[in-house]
């Protein structure tokens, strides 16, 4: 559940009136611009959404009489209306302030343009109200890419994450990662508040990463771009050698690329994951080393065939 105070604090908005009412709850991530309602049409009024007033709404209000404003604003102030937001630095009409105070509804003000402010509020609410799923793993940000490290207990996920932090990368979550779908192609990962900035290292215990490495070593959340599955090296297991067998894993109904990395004595897993992230970024930018190798191999085979023919 999100309170109006959360929106005010996170988006750094100003309270125009009703500071005592900032604990009101928001249950919908959608927002409303009450254009039709200002004309008196309330048949489909989405009263449980945040109501945003921009230049069009305020220009129309200026043409209304005092009596019309009084009637319309009292209808806008429903029992479950979370808040009114005034964009572009406009002042709230006196009639709206009076009606809102009577119903205990806060009025928020901002100098930001209406469309941008609406997008900011909507995006914040979608992320905060989205259903969370907890999964096991270590989430780090490597060169701007969110990499989720998974594997069986004791394989060294946290130790690998710690080594990556020492290399200058950032921790998002250790052991438990809360994920949610931002849209059809994007899944976001974050740390539960009780575990934020903390890691468990066997033999040492709990450490505070921000306290030891500084604020630049941690981050609140990140998109999960790649999943790395750590597996014990074994002759019974088959691992991809050319990089052409990248699979995927379903996280919050979003398909995320996944690779498996064997773990054995003498392998610097942190460095391998670091390179895997760099290679993944190169592929997304259109450069594929595997394809280049296959092209070179095809050319070599063709060249040898021509020489044998001669």
Q: Give Cα separations from 174 to 71, 147, 166, 190, 219 (angstroms).
A: 54, 12, 15, 10, 12
Strands, DSSP E only, in the chain? 2-3, 14-17, 25-26, 31-32, 50-53, 84-86, 107-109, 133-136, 138-142, 145-151, 170-173, 176-183, 186-190, 198-201, 205-208, 221-232, 247-251, 254-263
| Residue linked to tokens 């064997």 | 262
Tokens of 233: 């090296």
Catalytic center residues = 136, 157, 175, 241
The SS3 call for residue 157 is helix
Cα distance between residue 121 and residue 243, in whole Å: 41
Question: Where does residue 137 rank: exposed (0-12), middle (13-18), buried (19+ CB within 10 A)?
Answer: buried
């Amino acid at each position: 559940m999100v309170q109006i105070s959360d929106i005010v604090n996170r988006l750094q908005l100003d309270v125009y009136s009703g500071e005592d009412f900032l604990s009101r709850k928001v249950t919908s991530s959608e927002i409303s611009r009450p254009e039709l309602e200002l004309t008196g049409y309330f048949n489909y009024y989405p009263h449980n959404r945040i109501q945003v007033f921009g230049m069009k709404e305020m220009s129309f209000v200026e043409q209304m009489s005092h009596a019309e404003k009084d009637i319309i604003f009292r209808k806008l102030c429903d029992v479950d209306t979370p808040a009114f937001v005034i964009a572009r630095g406009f002042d709230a009409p006196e009639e709206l302030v009076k009606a809102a105070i009577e119903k205990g509804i806060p009025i928020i003000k901002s100098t930001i343009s209406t469309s941008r402010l609406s997008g900011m509020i909507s995006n914040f609410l979608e992320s905060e109200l989205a259903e969370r799923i907890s999964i096991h793993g270590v989430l780090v940000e490597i060169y701007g890419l969110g990499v989720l490290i998974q594997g069986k207990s004791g394989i060294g996920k946290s130790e690998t994450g710690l080594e990556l932090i020492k290399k200058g990368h950032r921790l998002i979550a250790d052991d438990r990662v809360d994920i949610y779908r931002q849209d059809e192609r994007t899944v976001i990962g974050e740390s539960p508040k009780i575990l934020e900035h903390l890691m468990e290292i066997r033999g040492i215990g709990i450490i505070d990463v921000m306290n030891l490495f500084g604020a630049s070593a941690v981050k609140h959340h990140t998109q999960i771009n790649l999943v790395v599955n750590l597996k014990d090296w074994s002759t019974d297991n088959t691992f991809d050698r050319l990089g052409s067998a990248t699979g995927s894993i379903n996280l919050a109904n979003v398909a995320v690329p996944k690779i498996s990395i064997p773990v054995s004595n003498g392998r610097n897993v942190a460095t391998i994951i670091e390179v895997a992230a760099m290679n993944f970024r190169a592929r997304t930018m259109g450069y594929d080393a595997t394809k280049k190798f296959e092209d070179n191999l095809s050319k070599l085979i063709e060249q040898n065939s021509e020489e044998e023919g001669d």
